[in-house]
Homo-oligomer: A and B are copies of this chain.
Amino acid sequence: MNKAPEAEILSVGTELLLGHVTNTDARDVSEMLSRIGLNVKYHSVVGDNPERLRQCVEIARGRADVIITTGGLGPTCDDLTKQVLADCFGLKLVRNEEVEKSLYEYIRTGRGLTPNTHQQALLPEGCTVFPNSCGTAPGCAFEKDGKVVVMLPGPPKECRAMFERSALPYLRRLSGEAIVSHSLNIFGIGESAVDDLFADEMNAMTNPSMAPYAKECDCLLQITAKAENEAEAEAMIAPVRAHVLQVLGEYVYGEDVDCIEEAVMKLLREHGRTFAACESCTGGDIARRFTELPGASAFFLGGAVTYTNAVKTELAGVPEALLAEKTAVSREVAQAMAEGIRERLGADLGVSVTGLAGPDGDGVHEVGTVFIALAAEGQIFVRETHMGSTRTRSFIRRMAGNHAFDMLRRYLSGMQVE
């Protein structure tokens, strides 16, 4: 391919059209493709219907170089996607012995045989088979008539894993050049501020290139380089990364990480520390987010969700007199919550959040007023935020959690915390 290849993601599944499931596969695959510089121009979704799928494939082959399908590979859907794609490109489905063998293995380990299991071993002739590390249905890829077709399973975990392990190397090889992309994860400064800081450079750069992207409560700066091989592309990225790090400094919390809590877990592991959380308006979201990460139990001892004053006293030892004097939404109570949970659970570090996530206020503070505290060995830090009453409850909760994780990160990195 000489010009930059363009891709279409075609997702197959009636459940998507009924609104029962969100199309996270298209998001995930798009994000991963953008990292290797492959431009996604269209997403399409169609139901489990061969004729409509066929029409969608015809449209996609007319406007894209790379067609990536998600879904419709499982044994219950009669391998709709493989059959239709193979037909559209004039290929036969043939029995793949290796896949059949591994399916038998899978069945022998007791994970269930369905009447259509055998069909999963039928694959387009001459295709590259992608093994499924989290399920049974294999994916595959082929090139025909100047087009590249990649088929991935629908369950998000299987789709992501197969894309990363099999599809990404396959697509990289095709492009004939190495495209490498890294994202610097940023918290504490907005996307538009990042844009302002680097606007002139970004306009002047073509390869490597640089672009900021807003995420829900933080943002990232993506640096992409194209070269003859990966090492060369990495070498082109290095000075740009160094420059960005010099300008943004402590605002950068990681590189290519999914979320700030992942960066925090890495630091807790490096420094051998544990933490505990005392949450009021975040309602357990800090604990929930951190414990989504496998292995969290080595670093997170536990927490309290203290939705009333009495519970703040009972579970985190916040003095009743302090609550009466300062009210629950105050710097002093945030400090007492963080210190209290740290001591009570015997953790190295304690974080706390207290504030108003709305929609109702307390008649004193504006919705969006949140205090976040970090108690460490002999030190206590507090941030006071005013996110504004136009923010949604869910934004305020997530942003407050990000502040707590950011304070942990900065403390563990020896940076200024407040």
Contacts and interface: CB of A to CB of B under 8 A. Distances in A.
A151 to B, nearest CB: 19
Nearest to A22: B27
A302 B306 CA distance: 5
Contacts of A19: 26-34, 40
Interface string A282-316: 11111110111011110011111111101100110
A8 B283 CA distance: 38
A293 to B, nearest CB: 9
A89 interface: no
A308 B304 contact: no
Contacts of A15: 213-214
A54 B66 CA distance: 21
A302 B297 contact: no
A50 to B, nearest CB: 14
Contact of A307 (B17, B297, B390): B297
A370 to B, nearest CB: 14
A42 interface: yes
A3 interface: no
Interface in A197-225: 213-215
Nearest to A216: B21
A302 B315 contact: yes
A297 B283 CA distance: 10
A302 B311 contact: yes
A344 interface: yes
B393 A292 contact: yes
B17 A40 contact: yes
A394 interface: yes
Contact of A314 (B59, B111, B279, B344): B344
A18 B392 CA distance: 24
A23 B20 contact: no
A346 interface: yes
Contacts of A283: 287-288, 290-292, 296
Contacts of A307: 291, 296-297, 300-302
A294 B44 contact: no
A34 B16 CA distance: 12
Contact of A360 (B44, B157, B277, B294): B294
A41 B46 contact: yes
Contacts of A327: none
Nearest to A52: B41
A305 B303 contact: yes
A51 to B, nearest CB: 11
A360 B294 CA distance: 8
A360 B295 contact: yes
A84 interface: no
Contacts of A277: 305
Interface string A146-168: 00000000000100000000000
Interface string A30-72: 1111100001111111110000100110010001000000000
28 contacts: A15-B213, A16-B27, A16-B30, A17-B41, A18-B40, A18-B213, A19-B27, A19-B30, A19-B33, A19-B40, A22-B23, A22-B24, A23-B23, A41-B52, A44-B44, A59-B59, A276-B311, A279-B284, A283-B288, A284-B284, A301-B310, A301-B311, A302-B304, A302-B306, A302-B308, A304-B304, A314-B344, A315-B315
Interface of A: 15-24, 26-34, 39-47, 52, 55-56, 59, 63, 111, 157, 213-215, 276-277, 279, 282-288, 290-292, 294-297, 300-308, 310-311, 314-315, 344-346, 358-360, 390, 392-394, 397
* In the complex, the 7 A-B pairs of residues with the closest C-beta atoms, listed nearest first: A283-B291, A19-B31, A284-B287, A284-B284, A19-B30, A302-B311, A43-B45
Given A284-B291, A296-B307, 12 more contacts: A18-B34, A19-B29, A19-B32, A19-B40, A111-B390, A277-B305, A279-B287, A284-B285, A284-B303, A287-B287, A301-B310, A303-B304
